[in-house]
Amino acid sequence: MEIPVDKRVRQYELTYLVPATLTSDELKQVETSVEKLVTKHKGKVVSSEAWGKKTLAYAIKVGGKRHNEAVYYHLVLEFETTQTVDFEKDIFLTQTIIRHLLVIAEEKQEKVVKKEAEVVSAA
């Protein structure tokens, strides 16, 4: 029996942390390398934000160094569901990214509000 493959295009949110000790040029290189990874896995960057440098709640030890601060980046991406596993493996192997989180993006709240209004008007 074959398991059906879901090939829908979905939106995902990727938040990743980069050491605050990197220079602005190195930060740009990390940003472009992540965007290249997205295109390598047939994805598309919908929006990109740099949240800036923040103090971490706890120190993260990577490569023998302890990081107390990191630069946060947040991307909204579009991928086929089959591509996300390989993309996340590549992100995990990127040495300049100390932490990342990839989640399915929530649908816009406007749809929920419209449906609630339709239910109220139908009653």
pLDDT of 110 over the 70 cut: no
Residue 3 within any structural domain of the chain = no
The per-residue pLDDT for range 45-63, each reduced to its tens digit, is 999 999 999 999 999 998 8
Q: Is 1 a member of any domain?
A: no
In a domain? residue 4 = no
* Predicted TM-score of the model (pTM): 0.79
Where in the sequence is the domain holding 87, given as residue range(s)?
9-122
Whether 44 maps to a domain, the answer reads: yes
**76: nearest Cα among 53, 55, 107, 54:** 107
**Tally of structural domains, the chain:** 1
CATH of the domain at 23: 3.30.70.60
pLDDT of residue 72: 97
Is 7 a residue whose pLDDT tops 80?
Answer: no
Q: Give domain status of residue 26, yes or no.
A: yes
The predicted structure's pLDDT at residue 84: 87
| Dihedrals phi, psi of 121, to nearest 5 degrees | -70, -30
CA–CA gap between residue 79 and residue 85 (Å, rounded): 10
